[in-house]
A and B are shown apart, each in its own frame.
Chain A
Amino acid sequence: MQKNFGSLDRREAVKMLLADRGDLLVISGLGSSSYDLFDAGENAGNFYLWGAMGGAAMVGLGLALAQPKRPVAVVTGDGEQLMGLGSLLTVAAKKPGNLSIVVLDNGHFGETGMQQSHSGLGARLEVIAGGAGFHSVTEIGDLESIAAFRRKMRNFDGPHFARIHISSDHVPRALPPRDGVFLKNRFREHLGFAVT
């Protein structure tokens, strides 16, 4: 089994991605990506998916279309994105300038026993995103490149796609709130919508 798919610590990678996040809104995909987003700092502009496997990019698209003046990032894993590959075509066809899809790729299904994923077995998600129609595609293997991509996420010239190679090493659990109604109301309140 290929263990060292990437060398980046996933928690450090996401912290670097979200440093000085300003008004960035973030959707995280089911699994470790939600733990990483929470660990990087609780924020009412975070929406953690605890289900909806394969749907993170589409939740991000609906949000990005509704909030065109806010930068929106989807932070998800290779397994989650692999289950919704069609959504890359849908995002690319719609071309929301404020949306970035960031895949934390460790080449494995980390939540289910570390089986190798299609990515670990050779699929190249950044090539698939390019083929789907993304004009801005980045493959990232170090923190400096994440810092550079962080600026891109705010330039409204997207949609951007980034595949970040991360290590599959174990990190401690960091569990965000799981109540979906709470997360929804907190997020909408953050955007100025009254909870009625």
Chain B
Amino acid sequence: MAVSTADDVTSRDWPLDIYHSLKTAGVSQLCYVPDAGHSRLIQLSHADRDIKTTVLTTEEEGVALAAGAWLGGDRAVLLMQSSGVGNCINMLSLLASCRLPFLTFVTMRGEWAEFNPWQIPMGKATQQALEIMGVTVFRLEKPDDAAELASAAASLAFDSDQQIAVLISQRMIGRKKWTETK
């Protein structure tokens, strides 16, 4: 059986930088559809008793959860892979209709050294899909920028009522490694 790992990434612990920025910004809810590129941040969130961490069955659940969290006074973030952005389209209208803050971190597939052609169409459409629904898109290309970009994105979302997506370059996550275990 082939198993992929996300261990071999860049030397800088950029998911930890994002985590610290989110803590400083007062984020207290994190929800996710798993992705190998998010595994470190998901672990950090689960280990933090002050962050309510929710696993989703599909990405648009996280858009609705973030809306409910804000209504109740919490700041939430959604972690997903680029292939999940398409699932969110209609639910994003909730955020525009109510001018609700929204912050999502999207790990990219279908761009840098992609080996699976089925990932390409949604990967190519990810930024436009977000933008046509009114979401402002930032691209995180360099690990050293993670802390500052996450902090700026959180301010725009939670202080200025904007919908913000940070697309994390596939190059930062590294080539998908396949390990034959059998």
Contacts and interface: CB of A to CB of B under 8 A. Distances in A.
A180 interface: yes
A67 B73 contact: yes
Given A84-B61, A90-B61, A62 B94 contact: no
Given A52-B93, A55-B63, A60 B68 contact: yes
- Sorting the interface of chain B by its residue count into under 10, 10 to 19, 20 to 34 or 35 or more gives 20 to 34
Interface string B57-72: 1101111111111111
B72 A86 contact: no
B46 interface: no
A181 B19 CA distance: 30
Nearest to B67: A59
A16 interface: no
B73 A58 contact: no
A60 B65 CA distance: 7
Contact of B61 (A25, A55, A180, A181): A55
A101 to B, nearest CB: 13
Interface in B67-120: 67-74, 76, 90-91, 93-94, 97-100
Contacts of B57: 86-87, 89-90
8 contacts: A50-B97, A55-B94, A58-B68, A61-B54, A62-B66, A67-B72, A94-B54, A180-B98
* Closest A-B pairs by Cβ, 9 of them: A62-B68, A66-B72, A86-B57, A55-B64, A180-B98, A58-B64, A66-B74, A62-B69, A59-B68
